[in-house]
Amino acid sequence: MNRRDFRRILGLIVVLAVLPVCRTTPEGNMVDLALINTKIWTGDAGRPWAEAVAVRGEKIQAVGTTAEVRRLSGPGTELVDLGGALVLPGFIDSHTHFLTGGFALKSIQLHDAKSREEFVARIAAKARELGPGRWILDGNWDEEQFNPPELPRRDWIDAVTPDNPVCVSRIDLHTVLANTAALTLAGITRHTPAPAGGEIVKDPATGEPTGLLKDTASDLVLAKVPEPTFADKLEAAGASLRHAAEHGVTSVNDMADASSFEVFQELARQGRLTTRVHVYVPVTEVETLARLRMKSPFGGAYLQLAGLKGFVDGSLGSATAYFFEPYADAPDKSGLLHGQMFPEGVMERRILAADRAGLQVAIHAIGDRANSLILDIFEKAAAANGPRDRRWRVEHAQHLRPADIARFGRLGVVASVQPYHLIDDGRWAERKIGPERAKTTYAFESLRRAGAALAFGSDWTVAPLDPVMGIYAAVTRRTLDGKNPGGWVPGEKVSVEEAVRAYTVSGAWTQFAEGAKGTVAPGKLADLVVLDRDIFAVPPETIGETKVLMTVFDGKVIHGKGR
């Protein structure tokens, strides 16, 4: 070996020796995204608070001080100085109607139309936007907003909608206004008799339909609305995803029919899902899923079949929530069981079958008797099938007898509750259930103390998809009418930390996903939300004004700063 060869070999040895070292130099270890100078509530008991977080790929690489995270950054790192803003794990909304919500977002908004002129102008604008032939639906109009209040009529809007059928609903969804084009499609004339349980409102002077249709009469028109196309559904889902990103929501449970899978599956395939979607399908599908040997949760990090959703009763607003005692304002009524409870015993058989198959169930129960009934069924199923990690969920768990609050804890049942409903319904709920039952209504703190897992959600589109408002509602319990500044049933307020936990850590746990998300910790999915103020420190009554500055999903900034 001559000297030149020796040098060449020596050089090669040096290169080989250095190569592995190169991989561990700061440059090789660079993170993709670093959020520094923040205040992070991590939800991680080992390190509850931190100052900076580093993200590599779709996961969190490090959580620590700004100096520590700076050391992991290089020229390729997107370094975001948040100037002290608050960072939380991405919000998990445990109860939405996610695809439906997208349609509502795209529809006409009439709930704040303040006059007949505004009402007509908005419908005219929508008709121009959509073009001839397309239906104008939803709307949520409220004639109490007009000055003076007056019910709308089809002749207000016929001139601006000659080529668009219109069927816009009142805010309570029990009345619609149809235009002449829609009435014609449905074949409704002055001679059409009202169907059972409905009313075709007719002008007392002329006998002609005014366009207002109540309850079952509205179905005559709605039956003519074409099923949305797949492209329409994709567009609606896209609107839902953008809306979720704006509110820092990085995971949702979608209480859906099985058809929403097709839509979210396509978006997942295209890499366009920017929130993790966990779909609950109707409990009536239990045999199909059990036959396929599907277990909860089935799927990947973006889209899962989470389990089965069922109903025990109706709602408080329509006096169909099922109670032990009659309604305070309707002594002859104590609510109704849902059709899924018949024939008797069928819900129990389905839950037993779901449990044997390893499928999680999420059952809607609002009245105290409905909640008691579902807890009875859960108790029997647990006794029959033996111990198992089930994480059964009761959706809403709105009105509870004190003894049943304790059972939530004892049985380890998840209370999947929606704080916004409490500040909304709280305006009138006591009129319906009286003061005694009100004491254990939306009993979040008692449920938590009893050891139940508390998961928060919105029930969007019934309430806004806005966790900040949910936190505000749970922490203050100030009803929307301003009549309870100290909180309605103030003993049931929860702390800001518990409210945030119910939107993050607990939400993940109830999805069997605590190993993957819900906290800001190394190895977890990088789903994060940045808020413009420290909700742990501001006066609670101002929490509702908080803005989402930035949303990170799967390691990428999908909303706000840095995008």
Nearest to 421 by CA among 461, 466, 463: 463
Three-state SS for 502? Answer: helix
Which of 404, 424, 459, 527 lies at the binding interface for Zn ion (CB under 5 A)?
459
Q: Where are the alpha helices (H) located in 358-480, listed in sequence order? A: 368-385, 402-411, 419-425, 429-438, 444-450, 467-476
Helix, strand, or coil here: 256? coil
Are the CB atoms for 557 and 90 separated by under 8 Å? Answer: no
Q: By CB under 5 A, which span of 52-60, 165-173, 453-461, 543-551 interacts with Zn ion?
A: 453-461
C-beta of 458: minimal distance to Zn ion in Å? 9
Instruction: Tell me how long the chain is.
Output: 563
Please identify, among the stretches 135-143, 159-167, 170-178, 455-463, the one whose residues bind Zn ion according to the rule CB under 5 A: 455-463
User: In whole angstroms, how close is the CB of 311 to Zn ion at the nearest point?
Assistant: 10
Q: Which stretch binds Zn ion (CB under 5 A): 132-140, 170-178, 288-296, 452-460?
A: 452-460
Q: Which is nearer to Zn ion, 72 or 252 (CB)?
A: 252
Least Å from the CB of residue 393 to Zn ion: 12
Return the half-sphere exposure (C-beta side, CA atoms, 13 A cut-off) of residue 218: 17
Contacts with Zn ion, 355-384, as mask; x by CB under 5 A: ------------------------------
Q: State the nearest-atom distance from the C-beta of 364 to Zn ion, in Å.
A: 7
Question: What does the DSSP 8-state code read for residue 554?
Answer: T
Is the Cβ of residue 161 or residue 398 nearer to Zn ion in the bound state?
398
- Chain position whose Cβ is nearest to Zn ion: 459
CB closer to Zn ion, 424 vs 459: 459
State in angstroms the smallest separation of the CB of 459 from Zn ion.
4
Stretch that binds Zn ion, among 22-30, 160-168, 229-237, 454-462 (CB under 5 A): 454-462
Instruction: Tell me the residue type at 216.
Output: T
Least distance from Zn ion to the Cβ atom of residue 414, Å: 15
Q: Smallest distance, Å, CB 482 to Zn ion?
A: 26
The pair of structure tokens assigned to 349 is 């058989």
3-state secondary structure of 210: strand
Give the torsion sign (CA, 167, 172, 173, 174): negative
The window from 290-298, 332-340, 403-411, 458-466 that contacts Zn ion (CB under 5 A) reads 458-466
CB 93 to Zn ion: min, Å: 11
Reference 91, options 247, 307, 243; nearest CA is 247
CB nearer Zn ion, residue 73 or residue 418? 418
| 41 versus 261: smaller Cβ distance to Zn ion | 261
Q: Residue 462 or 531: which CB sits closer to Zn ion?
A: 462
> For Zn ion, what does the binding mask look like between residues 403 and 442, x meaning CB under 5 A?
----------------------------------------
DSSP notation for 8-32: HHHHHHHHHHHHHHHHTSTTTT--S
Half-sphere exposure of 315 (CA within 13 A, CB side): 7
Q: Which is nearer to Zn ion, 178 or 469 (CB)?
A: 469
Task: Give the CA distances from residue 518 to residues 38, 506, 536, in Å, rounded to whole numbers and listed in that order.
Answer: 18, 7, 18
Q: What are phi and psi of 47, to 5 degrees?
A: -155, 80
Least distance CB 95 / Zn ion (angstroms): 6
Report the C-alpha gap between 563 and 551 in whole angstroms. 10
CB nearer Zn ion, residue 273 or residue 417: 417
Cβ neighbours of residue 462 closer than 8 Å, sequence gap 6 or more: 97, 418, 421
Q: How many chain residues bind Zn ion (CB under 5 A)?
A: 1
Question: Given the complex with Zn ion, which of 445 and 459 has the nearer CB atom?
Answer: 459
Which residues of the chain form contacts with Zn ion (CB under 5 A)? Answer: 459
